[in-house]
Structure 1
Amino acid sequence: MRRGRSSLLANPVLIGAATILVALVAVVLAYNANTGLPFVRTYDLKVELPDGQRLTPGNDVRIGGARIGTVIAVKPEVRANGRVVAVARLQLDRTAEPLPADTRLLVRPRSALGLKFVELTRGSSSRMLRSGDTIPVSQAVEEPVDLDQLASVYDARTRDAFRRGFVDFGDAFTGRGQAINDLLEVLPEGMRRLSPVMHNLADPGTELARTLQAFARTAGEVAPVAQTLGTLLPRLERTFSAFAAVARPHVQEWIETGVPLQRTIQREATDVRPFLRRSARLMAALEPGAAALDRASGPLADALRQGVRINARLPRMLDPLDDASRAIQRLADDPNVPMAIGAADRTVSRVDRILETLAPTQVRCHYVSLFFRNASSVIGEGNQWGTWQRSGLILTPIWMAPRADPGPQLHHNALPNTGQPGSDGECEAGFEGYRKGQTIGNVPGVQRTDSAPMITGPEAKE
């Protein structure tokens, strides 16, 4: 009997091995699916990026939202000038070939979890990129700020606070659908009324930019006490909780009555605007003074502290001041005081006129001091016959007899010039030159305009 040929399908070992081989091939194909299927031609390009931005192999490559390929590899590359760029290899479908040479690229987020993809924007160049060409870093669009980058700016405590805030906001909106619907219903009317308000704020006359700058400076001043202000929030919570107890109907009624007030303010705002402009100019004029006051705040604070200590001592001075005040009051009530003050005023006026005359006599000619000096020398100086007080008259005998007219050789100056007003500053007394013949009154000419001390006694001979 002839043995029949055995079938391969009847061998369970071969069937199992074939099944395992097919499964391995499927696994390999599935594992390498992101990097392209074997035996399939692709359109490969390289792109340069200023930053890899967490781009990983397997990320999609898209044009106009349609997927056309994947990222095969990403590696850093150091240029000759020391700059580091990220070079990514892209494996694109043949349907995308060819791309213009000025094609631009951008790395964008695909989800909030940090997944990225490369977006290509076709250019208009007539030169096309061939497989293996490189898109330079100059054609990479400036990278936007992604959500994951924004979140990484905050520390762990801030991110945790954001999470709690989102939960609290969710709880706040829960069960308030009708209120939100009511808000959406009145929102168009509110936006219509908001339009003129925003128009006024946009007016340069409102100086909104300076206001915001002032708020920024205020925030800078408040920053050092931010921790203290943070402790204020729990206290405000207790305050608002107390308000919540009287929110209805008291606070609600107050809000309702505030609506007519707001309408009145809106009507009167046009009349108030000139006053506000003048107030703005006044504040601008006061700004230098405020700056000076800021610089002087330190000394003023010291002065106030000194003033507090001085005020503490003032009560001890009140009793003597009371006695002095009563004495001044008695003096003011005395009827003789006005007469005495009037007499003193007349005396001062007369002495003032005398001083007006004597002042140039002494300041320019020194006659007052010379008078007292010579007066003292008359009784304190002299010669062997006595002091100068013992003197005699030397007269010409013929002049001693009565005459009908003055003598032809008479020299007499009753009122010599002594620097008084109207004398041209002449110091004439004691310096009159001798002139032959009769000379009565001031000697013609200016003798001299200053007076040296008169020397008497033995010193005159030297």
Structure 2
Amino acid sequence: METRLPPWRSLVLPGLFVLTCIVGGIFMWRSFGGDTPLQARGYRINVPLTDAPNLFPGSDVRIAGLSVGKITRVTRRGTTADAQLDIRPEFVPVRAGTRATLRSKSLLGEGFLELTPPRRKTRAIPDGGALRAADIVPAQRLDDVLGTFDPATRADLRALARGLARATRGAGGDVNQTLGEAEPATAGLQMTLGVLDRQGTSLRQLVANSATVVSALGRHEGALRSAITGAGRVFAVTAARNRALRRTVRALPPFLVALRGTARTLGAANADLQPAASALAGVAPAVRPALLQLRAVAPEARRTLDAVAATLPAADRGLPALRRILGAAAPALDALHPVLREALPVLQLLATVRDSAVTTFAGVSQIHNGTFLAEDGRVQHYANGIITLWNESIGGWVRRLPSNRGNTYPKPGFLDKIATGLESFDCRHVHNPNYLPPFGGTPPCITQGPWTFNGERRYYPTLQPAPP
């Protein structure tokens, strides 16, 4: 019997085979979600599930479509299941309130567990902890959806499925070709749905406003019915005038050709029109009020122009003579200009105090308008004024009596206050000695104050020559 050890060269090949088997077994184990032997255990939590028909060790754990870990174990807990999750280090920890939903990757039923983190930051679930059963969202399966329908609806769905089967029997190739050529439409639909998703807030407002519009239309059903009836009448009239509309449509192309030529002409004149338009921009706001006023006075202006037509023959004769008169009057106007500059302020003052001036002239004319019939039958005129006496009629006063209410420069409209008491120019004399009290008492002294004339506020007007 040979007791020597075999040479090392004869052991290399079996050793390499054994090592290859071990590495291959570990790789296969890892591919199916198993743990590497002697590997440090990661962050793990438990998730209680009502059922887990398509969840196995090695299934994905995802957040927002991104894989964050694997399912390491699925065990039964009575009538429920318990899944153990191994989360990769960059995604730990899982927060309390995270919601878990069992979903399927494909029609074959391959499942994964989707986690939805809470909106606000909560406490971290420790390693080995578990999610609450209240945070598990049950998966919505097709049989659950169909189970909500009543028997009649389920029967209708079966009839619909059988009808679709009969309609598509033998047309599988056409259906496949249709679905294959629908890619551009589905791509456009995906883009449209993406835009609608980004405009979700506006879309919700549109739907809410649509409900408001429909409610308003419901409240105004009569008006809506009248509008629809009126639209029907419009369409009926349009149909009755179909021949006229046809002529209009036929005449439209030549009109467009002429309009194109006009547009070219306007384009050539653009260099001149642009400065004119810029100049008109300043006066454009006043055009509309001016046109409205012109529209209001247009009838009167038409009548005036019609009346002017009768005077044109006389104007042909009189205007040349008027021109000669104005030419000869130029020296007289030059001499009259300084006089008018002095007289204009006086006329302006008389216009301001016209009430007082008219009262004064009326009083003077009334005083000198007394008449009586003489013995010889002739009418005689006399002054019928009455001489009045009061306590200031006696001369010799050194100071104004405190009862004096004189006003040398009354402001316009001062007689309107005669019922409540006329205003005085000033009241500085009310404390003077009262040598002779008046009969009937003394009215209160009210100061008139300054008033405005020709833009200047004074106690009495100061006349200046009018500007040249």
Interval containing the TM-score (normalised by the shorter chain): 0.3 to 0.5
TM-score (norm 2): 0.32
TM-score w.r.t. length of structure 1: 0.33
